[in-house]
Amino acid sequence: MSETQNLTVVQAVRDGLYTEMREDDEVLVLGQDVGKNGGVFRATEGLFDEFGGDRVVDTPLAESGIVGAAVGMAAMGLRPVPEIQFSGFMYPGFDQIVSHMARFRTRSRGRFSLPMTLRAPYGGGIRAPEHHSESKEAFYAHEAGLKVVIPSTPYDAKGLLAASIRDPDPVIFLEPKLIYRAFRDEVPEEPYTVPIGEAATRREGGDVAVFTYGAMTRPTLEAAESLAEVGIECEVVDLRTVSPLDREAIIEAFEATGRAVVVHEAPKTGGLAGEITAIIQEEALLYQEAPVKRVTGFDVPYPLYALEDYYLPTAARIEEGIKEAVEF
């Protein structure tokens, strides 16, 4: 067993970048304030001093430029890891993401591969200003050619980031900033990967399957523990990758109980919960004992922070949703 460090999620991201950059000279980081400043969340702290300004690049303030330049670098075989400072600022780069990052391989019939990983902190709960709290993973999951990865633990953050950087295809790596510093985990010092596209069972239980990811994993587990006290046992599945979804894990967990709840902070309409529900309907209809319950954000623009606690699913709302699915 190798040495481990006790790291937070954001420290594990930083460690993942550090380890991969040390392993592979073709890995480089570019974005706003990632260099001397070490990133606004300190996700790139110390990397500028360690690897220099050619591999940890402070760019002009231009998201389309950051993503588009990374596309060009990746087409030439580098492994760029562009950072967009907050996922709410990805939209100036959206054209590059959907028109090029997602389909360079297709459009060149495989001549160009884009081994790039676009990192962005996402999600709510930190009393941030407007446009700093949204969860729009569904945009990217909807775009063929992209993989969309969302870790919920420090161990996974490092391992999934390494897997993303090494992946031949472009990855959108969304980091739930609510849990950036919420807790620590033992993280190996050496490089390792956690496979993309594999869900993880965070809690076993025989009454209902609850699917979630990112920052919602914690309140979901909290709800599950609380329900255990009244005799309801939840199987909690952390999807970890929202594109491609781990269909087998979803079906297996669902078939065990015939009841499911999906929890995400993104708005309900067009969210991943609908897709997961459809997979269940396609693959396991005859197992179904209750309607699949969605506990999600609302179909409204993310509110200013004084109301965000009412927007985000809480353990109490999740508990209520689980009870509905179990008691149906």
Partner 1 sequence: MYEEVGPTVSVFDRAYDDPVRVLDEDGEVVGDVPDLDAEALVEMYRHMRLARHFDGRAVSLQRQGRMGTYPPLSGQEGAQIGSAAALDEDDWMVPSYREHGAALVRGLPLKQTLLYWMGHEAGNATPEDVNVFPVAVPIASQVPHATGAAWASKLRGENDAFLCYFGDGATSEGDFHEGVNFAGVFDTPTVFFCNNNQWAISVPRERQTRSATLAQKAEAYGIDGVQVDGMDPLAVYSVTRAAVEKARDPETDRPRPTLIEAIQYRFGAHTTADDPTVYRDEDEVDRWKAKDPIPRLESYLRSEGVLDDERVAEIETDVETRVADAIEAAESEARPKPEEMFEHAYAELPPELERQYEEFAAFREAHGDEAFLEE
Which residues are annotated as catalytic? 132
Q: Cα separation of 83 and 181, whole Å?
A: 19
Phi, psi of 108 (to 5 degrees): -110, 10
Task: Please list the residues that pair with 211 across neighbouring strands.
Answer: 237, 262
Contact positions with partner 1 (CB under 8 A) in 92-131: 92, 127-131
Judge contact between 156 and 194, C-beta under 8 A. yes
* Segment contacting partner 1 by CB under 8 A, of 74-82, 191-199, 284-292, 298-306: 298-306
Looking at 16, 82, 88, 170, which residue binds partner 1 (CB under 8 A)?
88
In terms of phi and psi (left: phi > 0; alpha: psi -120 to 50; beta: otherwise), the region of 322 is alpha
**Nearest Cα residue to 239 out of 200, 208, 292, 205:** 200
| Interaction between residue 305 and partner 1 (CB under 8 A) | yes
217-228 vs 315-327: helix crossing angle, rounded to 10: 60
Judge contact between 295 and 261, C-beta under 8 A. yes
**Nearest Cα residue to 31 out of 12, 6, 13, 9:** 13
Closer to partner 1 by Cβ: residue 24 or 324:
324
At its nearest, how many Å lie between partner 1 and the CB of residue 325? 15
Site string for partner 1, 188-217 (x = CB under 8 A): ------------------------------
Judge contact between 237 and 249, C-beta under 8 A. yes
At its nearest, how many Å lie between partner 1 and the CB of residue 32? 7
At its nearest, how many Å lie between partner 1 and the CB of residue 108? 25
Contact positions with partner 1 (CB under 8 A) in 238-297: 268-269
Q: Cα separation of 86 and 58, whole Å?
A: 15
Looking at 189, 248, 289, 309, which residue binds partner 1 (CB under 8 A)?
309
Helix segments in 199-265, DSSP class H: 217-228, 247-257
Contact positions with partner 1 (CB under 8 A) in 147-186: none
Site string for partner 1, 22-51 (x = CB under 8 A): ----------xx-xxxx-x-----------
At its nearest, how many Å lie between partner 1 and the CB of residue 101? 16
Q: Cα separation of 146 and 96, whole Å?
A: 12
Judge contact between 297 and 311, C-beta under 8 A. yes
Looking at 5, 23, 89, 290, which residue binds partner 1 (CB under 8 A)?
89
| Interaction between residue 58 and partner 1 (CB under 8 A) | yes
Q: How many residues touch partner 1 (CB under 8 A)?
A: 46
* Segment contacting partner 1 by CB under 8 A, of 61-69, 140-148, 187-195, 283-291: 61-69
Looking at 108, 289, 307, 328, which residue binds partner 1 (CB under 8 A)?
307
DSSP string, 141-168: HTSTT-EEE---SHHHHHHHHHHHHHSS
At its nearest, how many Å lie between partner 1 and the CB of residue 226? 11
3-state secondary structure (DSSP) of residue 56: strand
* Segment contacting partner 1 by CB under 8 A, of 69-77, 196-204, 243-251, 302-310: 302-310
| Tokens standing for residue 263 | 């929890």
Omega before 244 within 30 of 0, i.e. cis: yes
At its nearest, how many Å lie between partner 1 and the CB of residue 55? 16
Contact positions with partner 1 (CB under 8 A) in 217-246: 219
The binding site for partner 1 (CB under 8 A) comprises: 32-33, 35-38, 40, 58-65, 88-89, 91-92, 127-132, 219, 268-269, 298-301, 303-311, 314-317, 320
